[in-house]
Structure 1
Amino acid sequence: MADLRNLFVTPLYRAPLSEQGPIDPRELEASCISIAEDDEAGQEWCEANGYPGYTSYASLTDLQWRFPIFEELVRVLDKHVAAFAEALGFDLEEKPLRLEDIWINILPEGGTHGSHIHPHSVISGTTYVAMPEGTSALKLEDPRLPMMMAAPARRKGVAEELRQFVYVAPDVGDVMLWESWLRHEVPMNMAEEERISVSFNYAWG
C-alpha cells in the first residue's frame, strides 16, 4: 500500500489575544487612531511612498512607551510568541525571542498591502483591531511556489495543505503568527470602513 506523508509543514498560529492576558479592544482601537492622527512623519511617509491609509512602520519605534495599552499588548504577545516557538520546536538556547518592531496599519477602502516577507526576523504576526464586514482576509503563499515552474494548477476544492494560496479571515481580537520567511499580503479592502491591525516582528539572539 502506498505511503503518503506530508513533509516540511508551514505552521500558522491563531488564537484569541485574550488567551494570554486581557486587552481592552476599544482602548487599543482608540489608541491606534489617536497615534495615526498625531503622527505627521508617518502620514508624510505614507503619502510620499504611495502607501494607502496609514502605517507607523517607518516613523515610530516606541509604541509600547507611548500608550500603556501597547505595553500591555507586548506582554501578551510575548506569551503567544513563546507558545508558538515551543510548538515549532525551536532550540532557543535559553535566549528568548524578543520584540524587534511593532507598528500600526490602517487600510481604508481600496487599500492593499502587497506580497512580502520579513527577512531579518524569526516570527512575525498581526493582531486584529478592527475588521469590518467584507474586509480583506490575510493571504498566505506556499513558500515552494517559485520552484513549481512546470506544475499544473491545483483542482478547485483541493485540501488546504495542497493549495498554493490560503486565505484566512481573522476576527477582531485574534493574533496570528507565522515564521517570518512566509510570504503574505493583504488584498484590497472592499469594506467602506477602515481595517485596523497591529503587526510585529520577533528576533533571536
Structure 2
Amino acid sequence: MSNIESLFVTRLYRAALAEQGKPIDLAELENSCLAIAEDDEAGQDWCEKHGYAGYTSYASLDDLPWRFPIFKALVKVLDKHLEGFVKDVQFDLGEKKLKLDSLWINILPQGGMHSAHIHPHSVISGTCYVTMPMGTSAIKFEDPRLAMMMAAPPRKAKVRDELRTFIYRAPEAGEVLMWESWLRHEVPMNMAEEDRISVSFNYAWG
C-alpha cells in the first residue's frame, strides 16, 4: 500500500498578543511608534539614504524597551509567546535560553514595501502588528526549497497550502507571528492609504 507523507515541516506561530501576559494597549503602542519615528533623525536619514519608503528604527535604535514602558511590557508578552513556540518546534536549548536580540519599529506608508530577506544570526524572528488598515499588504513567506527547484513545473492554482511556493498571511492588529529566522519573507507594497505599523524582533540563542 502506497504512502505519502510531508517532510521537513516549516512552522508558523500566530496568536493574539492578549493570549499571553498583560494586555497591550495598541493605541499607546501606535502613538509611541509614531513619536519615535518623528524624533529619530538618524533613522530618518538611514531610510532616505537606502530608499526605504516610510520609517524603520532597525538601523538606528536598539533600546526601545528603555525608552518607552509600552515596549518593555511588549517584550514580556513576546517572551511568553516564545515559550509556546519553542515547545512546538522542540528545540533542545540545553542550559541556554533564547533571548531577545533586537526589537524595531516599521512604518510603511502607501507605496512602501520591504523586499525579501532573512534574519541571519537569529533563531526565532517575528512581528507584532499595531495597525493593519483595510487593503494593506499581507506578509509573504517563501518556500525555503525554492532555490533547489531547478526544473520544477509550476503548481496548480488551487494547490494545498503546504505545497505552495509562496504563502501569504494577513494578521490583524494585536496579533503576533513568529517563525524560524532562516525563513525568507517580504512585505509587498502597501496599497492602503493609511500607514501599516508593526514591531519586529529577533531572538538569539545564548
Using structure 1 for the length normalisation, give the TM-score: 0.99
Q: Distance in 1 between matches of 2:82 and 2:142?
A: 21
- Amino acid paired to 2:166: F
**Distance in 1 separating the partners of 2:108 and 2:90:** 35
Task: Kindly tell me the number of residue pairs found equivalent between the two proteins.
Answer: 205
1:2 is displaced (CA, Å) by 1.2
**Who is 1:87 aligned against?**
88
Give CA-to-partner distance per residue, 1:144-202, whole Å, 9 cap, x none.
00000100000001000000000000100000000000000000000000000000000
State how far apart, in whole Å, the 2-side matches of 1:195 and 1:16 are: 18
Q: Is the 8 A contact 1:82 1:97 kept in 2?
A: no
- Equivalent-residue separation in structure 2 for 1:2 and 1:115 (angstroms): 38
> Which digits, 9 at most, give the CA deviation of each residue in 1:14-43, with x for residues without a partner?
000111121111111110001000101100
Question: Cα offset for 1:94?
Answer: 2.7
Which secondary structure state, in structure 2, belongs to the residue aligned with residue 15 of structure 1?
Answer: strand
1:142 aligns to 2:150 (yes or no) = no
Equivalent residue for 1:11?
11
Cα distance in 1 between the residues matched to 2:2 and 2:196: 47
State the secondary structure of the residue aligned to 2:70: helix
1:40-119 correspondence to structure 2 within 5 Å: 40-119=41-120
Q: Kindly, what percent of the aligned residue pairs are identical? A: 70
1:55, distance to aligned residue in structure 2 (A): 0.1
Tell me the TM-score normalized by structure 2. Answer: 0.99
**Displacement after TM superposition at 1:53 (Å):** 0.2
Query: Residue deviations 1:109-149, cap 9 Å, x none?
Result: 00000000001100000000000000000000000000001
Which consecutive residues of structure 1, in runs of 5 or more, have no partner in the other structure? none
After the TM superposition, which segments of 4 or more aligned residues of structure 1 sit over 2 Å from their partners?
Answer: none
Whole-angstrom distance in 2 between the partners of 1:122 and 1:111: 27
Quote the offset at 1:96 in angstroms: 1.4
> What value does the CA root-mean-square deviation take over the aligned residues?
0.5
| Paired residue type of 1:168 | R
